[in-house]
């Protein structure tokens, strides 16, 4: 018997299946914790994709539209591509419902490349999706994002994925965050 999925799982599966035809993707941040059993609400899923040429993106965008997904920022695919090319995220919804949303971004630096190099499928989720690895998620949540929700997500991930934890890798990713995302910005401690 097929496992029953919730709306967020189905949304992620349908969207990722289309994206996967055109480029590599990873799901990052909150949905990693939620799909791993953390009970909390979210209105969006964060997806990072490897940059593609405009022609390929237009094909991806067209297939998303044909499958009922539409971009909130613009109905014009060339405009959507310009947002992504400028490393600004865009949001897609399904069947014109405002929730859930897929927040889509192009990878932009060595930190994102590392996330793709170490992406994984997490068995515990029961989803055939590519996620950024647990140690990367922990580094982001504990070192960069640091909201109460992110710190609670991090605690959950540390418990359910204890066997996957590498404090050495978490430290390495935190150093990359400092170089790539916090350079020139005063760190809050």
Give me the percent of the chain exceeding a pLDDT of 90. 89
Residues 50-90: tens digit of each pLDDT: 999 999 999 999 999 999 999 999 999 999 999 999 999 99
Residues 127-173: tens digit of each pLDDT: 999 999 999 999 999 999 999 999 999 999 999 999 999 999 999 99
* Residue with the two structure tokens 């593609």: 52
Write down the pLDDT at residue 170. 98
Write the class of the CATH domain 7-180: alpha beta
Write down the pLDDT at residue 1. 37
Residue 3 reports pLDDT greater than 90: no
* pLDDT bucket at 181, cuts 50 / 70 / 90: very high
* pLDDT bucket at 184, cuts 50 / 70 / 90: low
* pLDDT bucket at 41, cuts 50 / 70 / 90: confident
The DSSP annotation for 71-126 comes to ESS-S-HHHHHHHHHTT--EEEEETT-SSSEEEEEE--SHHHHHHHHT-B--GGGT
* pLDDT bucket at 189, cuts 50 / 70 / 90: very low
Domain boundaries, the chain: 7-180
- Residue 19 tokens read as 């994206």
pTM as predicted: 0.93
Neighbours of 39 (CB within 10 A): 7
């Amino acid at each position: 018997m097929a496992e029953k999925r919730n709306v967020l799982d189905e949304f992620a599966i349908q969207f990722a299946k289309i994206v996967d035809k055109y480029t590599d993707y990873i799901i990052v941040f909150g949905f990693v914790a939620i799909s791993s059993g953390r009970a909390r609400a979210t209105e969006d899923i964060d997806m990072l994709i490897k940059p593609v040429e405009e022609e390929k993106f237009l094909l991806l965008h067209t297939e998303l539209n044909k499958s009922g997904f539409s971009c909130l920022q613009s109905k014009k695919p060339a405009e959507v591509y310009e947002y992504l090319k400028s490393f600004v995220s865009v949001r897609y919804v399904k069947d014109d419902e405002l929730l859930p949303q897929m927040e889509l971004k192009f990878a932009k630096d060595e930190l994102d490349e590392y996330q793709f190099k170490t992406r994984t499928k997490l068995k515990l989720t029961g989803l055939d999706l590519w996620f950024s690895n647990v140690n990367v998620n922990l580094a982001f949540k504990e070192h960069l994002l640091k909201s109460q929700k992110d710190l609670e997500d991090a605690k959950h991930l540390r418990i359910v994925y204890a066997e996957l934890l590498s404090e050495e890798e978490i430290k390495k990713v935190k150093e990359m965050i400092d170089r790539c995302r916090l350079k020139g910005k005063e760190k809050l401690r």
